[in-house]
Structure 1
């Protein structure tokens, strides 16, 4: 916005200058017009560059993660650039903390954990309560009446019901239900069609109540705690597989980060070697020029050394571009939006490798910690549980149900004393 305002002001001044030049002679006017045209052409380009610079400065703001990273490292100069000295341990730690893939995997673990809790609470007792009210009028015309009077009754019904149910791990289901209904009738009459309704006397309230107890026992299908606990076992296997997937993703991420880190170490070492090669080529080229001037060397050999110098410089430039490419990969893995400095790895590979003496114990540890083998075992357990469910569905579905019902009647509401 600042650059465009500046451009408008300068353009206005140029227009004023143009009108002043009209009164001058033609040759001088043409010269000034050429200058004005050049300025008008160059000015938008300068304003565009200035606007891009201002826009870039506004975008180059450190986010919270980049600022935290710079607080934990030291800065140094390398190859004319400001670099942040980062150890491998810090890079791996940041990768685990900021990986979006790992965060998604952990959310999947939370969902699997909730499924386990839901499976464990599947036999929680349930209580259901309901209330109801209904009013039903009924009118009729008596055939013995000479008038147009309608007579009938209005029946009000108030109902209440409460049910308790619980299932056990063995498959047995218990239930207890209490229900009550109270009815009251009131005589009503209507003198003529469209007239007012006249209420008469109300009858006594009649209340009926019932208490029902039920027990359902499965004989073949759905019987036994081994089968009824399968939903919990399947949910636990799902949780274990989710954790194994998270662990596998974490190991894969660490492997990828470590590989990129050591690639960066190798490329930086290559840059140092190529810088020395360029320095040697430059020294050789200068010496060959001095020998050429002294008549001790022909021009062809000088051209050969110059060609080698160009090749060394091109190779050095290619390695420097590789450094920035690998740094961008590290920024992408660490989920860093903007980091104003380069990355300089502090760690260097060690040539020593201690191999354990007990090979068998190492094999057992590898087998135990391998995520693919553990995930395969979990899948086998899950398939076995699902097979048990399918075999249960093929069994005879026969249940034995017992029920005991107590009915009662009263002239008071909800079992009260008449």
Structure 2
């Protein structure tokens, strides 16, 4: 193996020998260094040595990029690695792998930082809308609409109130707050402010906010932003207080005045709705969303979309059937609105009726409460009333052994209806029932 001193001229003039794929020009003093030329005309400095009896060779670089002095220094450095018993090729690969790992770690850290920044920027309002969309299939209509109302900004025009615009919902003040900023102290301050203005709505909002934060904690995308449920603060619950027991209901002596005021309403659909609500003991939303297809005329039953069991069937009593028979069939809903869909704001009409009748504090749910209270005058079976109203059975016998058919419920239900009508001085005799049957 002939050796020469590598110079710029020799490097320029060196060519691969004819008939060979590569040729080498070995350095005279740095024995591990050579210039390699290939049949394609490519040239490169290479390092060659022996490790554990085996020849190892690796490329240093092109003479276009490396000077002779730099190549000599690199060859010496590589030889020191060999002298230490290591393969410089593996050392180089380890260095490359380390650089790649560092770059990958940096990229992952940058991505995580971006995700963390995006996560930390999420506001209550943004995730609240996603929460509603995710949970809507499991909620009733009223529960679903309440979630939108609680976080509304307000400021919308009003037509049936002294106030010209709607007020913000209880959660509106928290809407633009980041999830990471929903800490117990912030919730407690919110609770104190809302409890002073509207404690009932605030308690509802607090319960829904607590359920929302539990959903966030269990959700893979938001769990890291909400590590704990800030709405579980004991102080917030204490500030909001406990709801009082509601006792608003119609008394027996008020029935005549109330029915007279209802029946004088100019809106027959609303008049029928309020009377049906009292005489069925159903929830306000269950009656509002009732469809014509829910009337079982053959067996005189009424299917109620129950928030507890999904649906239940109660008797279609004669007077209620008479009320429904004369209602306009404008769309699928029994209590339809002239604007489309079903009626949506019966509270105003109820308040008007109560003002005429001289009754204070009666709510829509108070009519449902009245059904139960008035049944006590006839000493009707509690299980019957509970089944009609859609209350969950409270005893083992009711849950597992009592199954009352529609006809058995009808006996008690019609008895209560007749008693209420008699107390209201409403004459609903056989001839009226016959006309009602013909109408249906």
Instruction: State the TM-score, normalized to the length of structure 2.
Output: 0.21
Say which structure is richer in strand: 1
The structure that has the greater radius of gyration is: 1
Structure having greater relative contact order (Cα 8 Å, sep ≥ 6): 1
